[in-house]
Amino acid sequence: MTMSDTSEASSLSVRPERSETRRQVMARAIRAPGVLPAATFVLILLVWEASCRVFAIPSFILPAPTRVLGGFGAVDTARWLEHVWATLRVAMTGYFLSIAISLPLSIMLSRSEILSRAIYPILVVIQATPVVAIAPVIIVALGSGDLPRVVITCLITFFPLVVSTTTGLMATPPELIELSRSLRAPVFREITQIRLPYAVPYLFSALKISITLAIIGAVVAEFVAAEKGLGYYIQFSTSMFQVQQAWAGLIVLVLLSLILFQIVTAIQRFWFPWSLPGDRT
Amino acid sequence: MKRMIVKTLLGGAFAATAAISAALAADKVVYQLDWLPGGDKAPIYVCIQTGFCAEEGLEVTIEGGRGSSEAITKLATGVSDIGSAGIGALMSAKAGEGVPVTAVMSLFNKGPHAFYALVGSGVEKIEDVKGRSVATSPFTESNIYLPLVLQDMSMAETDITLTKADPGALGPMLMTGATDVIIAWLTDVSRYTGQAKEAGKELVIFPWSAAGLELYSASLVASDKFLKERPDVARRFIEAYKKSIAFAYENPKEAAEAVAAAVPELSVENVEGSLKDAMVLVFNEVTEKDGLGAFEPERLKATWERVSKAQGLDPTALDPESIVDRSFAAGS
Amino acid sequence: MSTAVPAIRFSSIGQVFRTGSGTLEALRGIDMTVGRHEFVAVLGPSGCGKSTLLRLTSGLIRPTSGTVEVFGHPVSEPRDDIGIVFQKPTLLPWATVEDNIVFPARHKTGRVGGDDREKGRVLIARVGLQGFGKQLPAELSGGMQQRVGIARALFMNPDILLMDEPFSALDALTREEMGFELLRIWEAQPKTVMFITHSIGEAVLLADRVLVMSERPGHIVENLRIELPRPRGIDTSNNKAMHDYVGYLRGLLLKRAA
């Protein structure tokens, strides 16, 4: 987002008063959205490949990009999709469950100080408990299947959602609440028409954090117990000494995370453009 | 002509019905792994892929596992019927809580534990680990026996510098010199050898049996419920399983292909390597003496002595004979 | 102004707030009336309780002592026949200008009818925002945003308009322009206006009467009728009488501050 903003600003400020020199053309091409990060990425890959070859780094320490590419071929596309789907299914179920719990909880917390004082410490305790540490306990308690993995994902994602949404609900300008009260409007409309929309920017910043956390949660759960999924695939490949396969799995995982993050960003940009900071003044 | 067609149709229908009823009649068995799939678990995949299981009228599904304790818990709670687990874990579970699980057949009649070092590192015999840095993974069963092995060599744990690391990190640590020695299983010999080769190094391996650690380890264990309610199925399964072990021993490549077909994440070479490594623990001089799958009373007793001592359990808390039932594997 | 029932009447109002560390006396012994369609400016130092006057009038808070009456009836709960314009426009950033103006209807009843829309369009024209109905607040200047705020306050067609330093966030030029704009709207459709400000010039320029409040606990120290001819405009700013009023009030406030 920052990238496209700066490029927009710069393309506005550059006026083609006279014919551009070659250097100016180059400079503009570099500033085109995506060019710089893509170039950096390619450069990193080249350096990586070259160092693996020049220093003869064994692949079990760091496999060269070309070998990682080979790692993608270890299983066919259908099998990859099965792993991606398993992780995605758990991550998304946990994510949406987490949202479904967080929103009403945040509304309750923002409305009642007593409730807030009673529940908040419990939330902090849950958040302070390392999920990795209790994951095995959850698996034992909830058995095999998706449920324990979904619960683990939920535990890891819901805290930022609750904190951020509650903050957003409380950040509504007091004038609008006075306006609402002077209109003697019902409380649910104060929440739906004023507080919740005002919390949207906060909600989305938490949604963006949580979507990547959801993937982490699913992977943590798969490390502990799973027969499918990218986390399982990576762990499996590592214990079978197939490091390039593990790297391939890791790359797919990162891509999945990035795509999901971009989807959340796109949803905000499309349906809630006003909630993006600094787009207009 | 017309009669013949009718006859053929009827025949076909009968055959189809028979096939369907056979499929319906197939006994369902859930097999419990004690770790991730791999070459050392080849027999069960052979059993399914080559049809040994189906021949005995069994429909086997595989339940994944993360360690012997978890596998035993799943068997005890009825998630699965029969599977593999370390006998040491079964013994301590029996001594502690009396879980309803019984060993029916031995798989590894030697401990798989070993020290790995690099040629030229100065570790030339097992006693040379003294004063060295040794890396192990946090949850391996080997850690339990380590004090006994050291004791047998008149060493204490303070005589080595022990560090714990992720199983996947042990190989690289050894090859890069981050540690002098690692503790790993004999089922991974070919994998570590492959890593060493890539790093231009050569391995030297010291099985702990060389230091006097003679015991049973991985075994076929079954839930008591399964053995009691479906003894016939259990017998047929063990029969098929034995055939599968023999097949895997004689045809490692085909066996590896069977595993790779079921678990596409694994390559055939990888499986074949660890399968061959594992077979050394199944077929050896002990097998020649006692037979495949046997629980020889003296060796079983010695195993319990080792387990109880290593885990600080009361040696009288368990009669090792009470955890095995040799009747199901009888016949060979 | 001779009508028997004033639009707003405060009788011996005292206001004490409980705070974390004790109590805070905001108002003491306030007696005042605002006539129907009268434009009254309330002038005073920061923190003297000027805004409390507005919140008492709108029924958002109840006085600790004394009574507040609106059109002869004691105020006991929030009233929707009073429009409020806040210091900041506080518009809904996700709603268009038009939707912001009709928001009171949507918020009170849950829906916006065709006649509400029509009313919204009339108000957009009245505050001089023709052609901006579909814009978002962030696309408007500060002055234009405050015009939307005024239109929203006028939407329920209130008899009383309460304004809490509505132009204080604007630059000087826009501020003056908005003052004249407000007078134009007020003269076109007379309302009772209570206008809080700490700009002496603004108070004199706009109001029929200026109430000067003391620092906390706030009470009224001067009640000054401004006898400047209407309609007022740029010429009024240069008027000698205007300067006299401003000079007098400034002296009063400075003396009190000293």
Both structure tokens of A68: 């990682």
Last residue in a domain, options B211, B232, B265 = B211
Do B96 and B174 belong together in one domain?
no
What pLDDT score was predicted for residue A13? 45
B299 contacts B109 by C-beta, under 8 angstroms: yes
Mean pLDDT, 10 residues at a time, chain C of 258 residues:
74 86 85 91 82 89 90 85 88 92 90 89 87 90 90 89 89 86 88 91 91 86 86 81 88 80
How many distinct structural domains can be found in chain C? 1
Domain-embedded: residue C224:
no
**Percentage of chain A exceeding pLDDT 70:** 91
The Cα–Cα gap between C22 and C30 comes to 22
For residue B248, the domain's CATH number is 3.40.190.10
Cβ pair B153, B211 in contact under 8 A: yes
pLDDT, average across residues B288-309: 92
Q: Would you state the pLDDT for residue A11?
A: 45
Shared domain for B321 and B266, answered yes or no, is yes
CA B131, CA B180: separation in Å to the nearest integer?
Answer: 10
Report yes or no: A220 at the B interface, CB cutoff 8 Å.
Answer: no
DSSP B214: -
pLDDT of residue B286: 92
pLDDT, chain B, mean:
88
Structurally, chain B folds into a number of domains equal to: 2
> What digits encode the pLDDT tens for the residues B247-271?
999 999 999 999 999 988 888 988 9
Let me know if residue C246 belongs to a domain: no
- What number is the average pLDDT over the span A185-209? 92
Residues B23 and B166 in one domain: no
Does residue B245 share a domain with residue B97? yes
Band of pLDDT at residue B108, cut at 50, 70 and 90:
very high
Handedness of CA C105, C106, C112, C117 (dihedral sign): positive
The residue extents of the domains of chain A are 2-66, 67-275
Six token digits for residue C39: 């434009």
**Chain A environment of B66 (Cβ under 8 Å):** 224-225
Same structural domain, B106 and B222: yes
Give me the sheet containing C39-43, strands edge to edge.
Answer: C82-85, C160-164, C192-197, C39-43, C209-213, C220-225
User: Closest approach of chain A CAs to the CA of C59, in angstroms?
Assistant: 8
What pLDDT is recorded for position B9?
Answer: 52
Q: Are residues B260 and B295 in the same domain?
A: yes
B220 lies in the same domain as B321: yes
Task: Say whether residue B177 is in contact with chain A using an 8 A CB cutoff.
Answer: no
Q: What is the dihedral of CA C97, C101, C102, C108, to 10 degrees?
A: 130
pLDDT reported for residue B7: 53
Residue C63 lies in a domain: no
Q: Which chain C residue has the Cα nearest residue A176?
A: C90
How many C-alpha atoms does A104 have within 13 Å on its Cβ side?
4
Average pLDDT score over residue span B35-64: 92
Interchain contact B61–A (C-beta under 8 A): no
What tokens appear for B146 in the block? Answer: 């380590």
**B234 and B316 in one domain?**
yes
* Amino acid C234: pLDDT: 80
Beta carbons within 10 angstroms of residue C58's beta carbon: 26
Nearest residue to C121 (alpha-carbon basis) of C134, C108, C104: C134
Residues of chain B positioned with their CB less than 8 A from the CB of A61: 172, 175-176
Closest-CA residue to B255 (of B19, B52, B117): B52
CB A227 within 8 A of CB A186: no
pLDDT for residue A234 is more than 50: yes
Residues B148 and B84 in one domain: no
Of the pLDDT bands very low, low, confident and very high (cuts 50, 70, 90), residue B2 is low
Interface test with A, best of B265, B268, B270 (most A CBs within 10 A): B265
> Does residue C174 belong to any structural domain of this protein?
no
Per-residue pLDDT, averaged over B266-288, amounts to 91
Give the structural domain span for C141.
89-157
- Hey, are the CB atoms on B64 and A59 less than 8 Å from each other? no
pLDDT in tens, A151-195: 999 999 999 999 999 999 988 898 899 889 888 888 899 999 999
Asked whether residue C150 is domain-assigned, the answer is yes
Looking at the complex, report in whole angstroms how far the Cα of residue B10 sits from the nearest Cα belonging to chain A: 40
The mean per-residue pLDDT over the stretch B288-305 comes to: 93
Do chains A and B have 3 or more beta-carbon pairs under 8 angstroms?
A: yes
Topology (CATH level 3) of domain A67-275? MetI-like fold (1.10.3720)
Q: Which of C76, C94, C160 to mutate to test the interface with A (most CBs of A within 10 A)?
A: C94
**pLDDT at position B8:** 54
pLDDT tens-place string over residues B172-188: 899 988 999 999 999 99
Asked whether residue C123 is domain-assigned, the answer is yes
Average pLDDT over residues B89-110: 91
Instruction: Report chain C residues whose CB lies below 8 A from the CB of A281.
Output: 138
Residue B1 lies in a domain: no
For residue B136, the enclosing domain spans 113-211
Average pLDDT over every residue of A31-36: 80
State the CB neighbour count (10 A cutoff) for residue B307: 27
pLDDT over 60 at B15, yes or no? no
List residues bridging with C101 in a β-sheet. Answer: none
Helices vs. strands in chain C: H and E counts, helices first? 9, 10
In a domain, C102, yes or no: yes
State yes or no: pLDDT of B290 exceeds 60.
Answer: yes
A47, pLDDT greater than 90: yes
